[in-house]
Amino acid sequence: MQNQTLWLKSPAAIFTGNALNAGNGLVIKGNKIVELVPSGMKPKIHVDSYIDCSNQVVTPGLINTHHHFYQTLTRAVPGALNKPLFPWLKYLYQIWKNLDEEMIYTATQLAGLELMLSGATCIADHHYVFPKGLEQAIDIQVEAINSLGCRATLTRGSMSLGKSKGGLPPDSVIQDEDTILQDSQRLISKYHDNSDDGFIQIALAPCSPFSVSTTLMQDTAQLAKENNVMLHTHLAETEDENNFCMQQYGMRPLDYLEHCDWLGNKTWLAHGIHFNQDEIKRLGQANVGIAHCPSSNMLLASGICPTVELESAGCNIGLAVDGSASNDCSNMMQEVRQSLLQQRLRYGAEVITAKRVLGYATTGSAAVLQRPTIGMFDIGMQADLAIFSLDELRFSGVGSPLDGLITCGASHVDKLMVGGNWQIENTEHCALLSKQIMDKHQYLAKKLQSQNFVL
Ligand code: ZN
């Protein structure tokens, strides 16, 4: 439909992500939004076709800011259940060290598909496990994402501080600094599309303070600066991490981050829970982005992200499902609901509204990933959108369809458009990928979890 115009007509509700009125829908031409139609009005431009959305809710495509796709192969693994972060990680590293290329391809496809079915049009992943034989992990992920038709920010993760040097991961899953930096440069040169509407973008992402050397943190920041790409890591997820940083480096995680030259607007952090007031102020002044991961933080009992304080200080807040070993699903709409419920406990019902948490998953996430042409509806923005049908028992009798989308628990889209192309119609990926990917994924998950390991 390159030159055709399409009107998404009269939605039951629409979330634009800004103050604009699109009560009577949107007009799309090619890969862009060309008109917002206010309530009671008709489009000014000629429309070639329309879709009646009177029983549907339309939102900008949701944007997931943090994940570990490979972890879909280790969901609810018995030996890792009911453990906090550090012992949970130590157990799972012993399984993850056996990941291979087929596994990373299939896990990326499955997680991507799961996210898209839940409304996501742009997804970020943080892959940091590089055992022998998996040196091409990010190349494989690019190929897998291209088969799905969504946008992605793939981060070249890394771990260089193995157990023998005081780190947490086993030595077999880490790489040396030179290898990591050379591969990071190679991936940026090969895949990073720095245009505003780029489909694949690359960012650099040392795993966390407890698995990466100080030199690697500093050199990665320098490399990111030279290439004008973003930086990402886990930070302030647990009190254990604070204690680790005090013992290992003599400073708290944020001081350590600053020491490594990471405090700036090209950095986004996963979790961001255990900060004091002064740290929140410094993060806001530097415009650091936060990937808020409520389900994972509750499952691992890590804590509650202080979203409102961080936002008031100047941080962008995006939403994320986190890896599938600590969620264990990759459903963005359910994550929006989790954020609403969790954050209300801290800030109250008047402060945490449906619009606010939907904003985290759209405009907030787009700002975190620095993608200026997605995350809201306006003329000239990319046609990335999710359409949820209200034709389900859970929505029957709903008063406010937009609020009900979250409080009644929407979990899957009816249709999903990325850059003007339908990728999901009638709740199924247009390439009919679900069944074939799932069969292969289940086989590989069984294979990975059954391999012998030594703790
Ligand atoms: Zn994570």
Kindly state whether residues 96 and 238 are assigned to the same domain.
yes
Kindly state whether residues 20 and 117 are assigned to the same domain.
no
Kindly state whether residues 214 and 141 are assigned to the same domain.
yes
Q: Residue 384 burial by CB count (10 A; 0-12/13-18/19+): exposed, middle or buried? A: buried
Kindly state whether residues 136 and 263 are assigned to the same domain.
yes
CA 53–ligand 1 middle distance (angstroms): 36
What is residue 2's predicted lDDT score, i.e. its pLDDT?
67
Q: Let me know if residue 101 belongs to a domain.
A: yes
CA 182–ligand 1 middle distance (angstroms): 24
Q: Let me know if residue 232 belongs to a domain.
A: yes
Rg of the Cα atoms in the chain = 21
Q: Let me know if residue 378 belongs to a domain.
A: yes
CA 281–ligand 1 middle distance (angstroms): 24
What is residue 325's predicted lDDT score, i.e. its pLDDT?
76
CA 46–ligand 1 middle distance (angstroms): 46
Kindly state whether residues 39 and 108 are assigned to the same domain.
no
Kindly state whether residues 414 and 322 are assigned to the same domain.
no
CA 323–ligand 1 middle distance (angstroms): 6
Q: Let me know if residue 416 belongs to a domain.
A: yes
Is the separation of the CB atoms in 143 and 114 below 8 Å?
no
CA 386–ligand 1 middle distance (angstroms): 25
Q: Let me know if residue 212 belongs to a domain.
A: yes
Q: Which CATH number belongs to the domain containing residue 13 in this structure?
A: 2.30.40.10
How many angstroms separate the CA atoms of 338 and 345, rounded? 11
Q: Let me know if residue 105 belongs to a domain.
A: yes
CA 300–ligand 1 middle distance (angstroms): 11
CA 324–ligand 1 middle distance (angstroms): 9
What is residue 269's predicted lDDT score, i.e. its pLDDT?
97
What is residue 1's predicted lDDT score, i.e. its pLDDT?
56
What is residue 224's predicted lDDT score, i.e. its pLDDT?
98
Q: Let me know if residue 160 belongs to a domain.
A: yes
CA atoms within 13 A on the CB side of 146: 9
Range of the domain at 413: 5-60+374-429
Mean pLDDT (10-residue bins), the chain, 455 residues: 89 98 98 98 98 98 98 92 86 92 97 97 97 96 97 97 86 93 98 96 92 94 98 92 89 95 97 96 98 95 96 98 87 98 98 98 98 98 98 98 98 98 93 87 94 61
Kindly state whether residues 23 and 98 are assigned to the same domain.
no
pLDDT tens per residue across span 84-131:
888 888 899 989 999 999 999 999 999 999 999 999 999 999 999 999
What is residue 48's predicted lDDT score, i.e. its pLDDT?
98
Kindly state whether residues 210 and 318 are assigned to the same domain.
yes
pLDDT tens per residue across span 216-261:
999 999 999 999 999 999 998 988 888 888 998 999 999 999 999 9
CA 320–ligand 1 middle distance (angstroms): 9
